[in-house]
Every structure is written in structure tokens, then in C-alpha cells.
Amino acid sequence: MITVYVIRSVSNGKRYVGITNDLSRRLLEHKSNQTAAGHLLGAFDLLWTEEFQDHLQARVREKELKSGQGRKWLDEKFGRPPDASLGMSRPA
């Protein structure tokens, strides 16, 4: 199984959408700062996961969640992340 996942920083609310064939391993890599996302997010919460039979289907969904419509869906479901360009949080 291939998993598409969304994590959110506890400190700044920024989100990361990723894809993996081993979610436990990947989350551990993020927690131990072995990834760029781990460095940027710091402590995080797992918000969402979806499982797919093959990598192609998962990749399509990952790209969808990273698109404007996908970000809008995530905003509606989990609240909006801070506006990095303004340096302040937007109301959820």
C-alpha cells in the first residue's frame, strides 16, 4: 500500500503533503529531522492519511492535495495555515 499523508507543524501551523510506502518510517524521518520538511515543521501532528493500491494513484492524489483546490479542501477541513508572506496567522 502507498500512503498519501498530511502533517501540520505544531508551532507555526504550516502543512506538508507527502507520499510513502511506509508511513511509520517516514514520520520517524520527519521527527528526527532527516527530511527538509522535518527541519521546516519541527514538531507536527498527523492530520490525514489515504491509502492506495499503487504509486500512480497515490501520486495523482498527492498532486491534487498540493493544488489550489486541494489546499482549499485542506483549509476547509483543518483550518488555514499561517500566511507566510504576512508573517502572521490567519483565522481558522
Q: Which three cell numbers stand for residue 48?
A: 490525514
Give tens-digit pLDDT for 53-90.
999 999 999 999 999 999 999 999 998 876 644 444 44
Full set of structural domains in the chain with CATH: 2-78 (3.40.1440.10)
Distance CA 11, CA 14 (A): 8
* pTM for this model (two decimals): 0.84
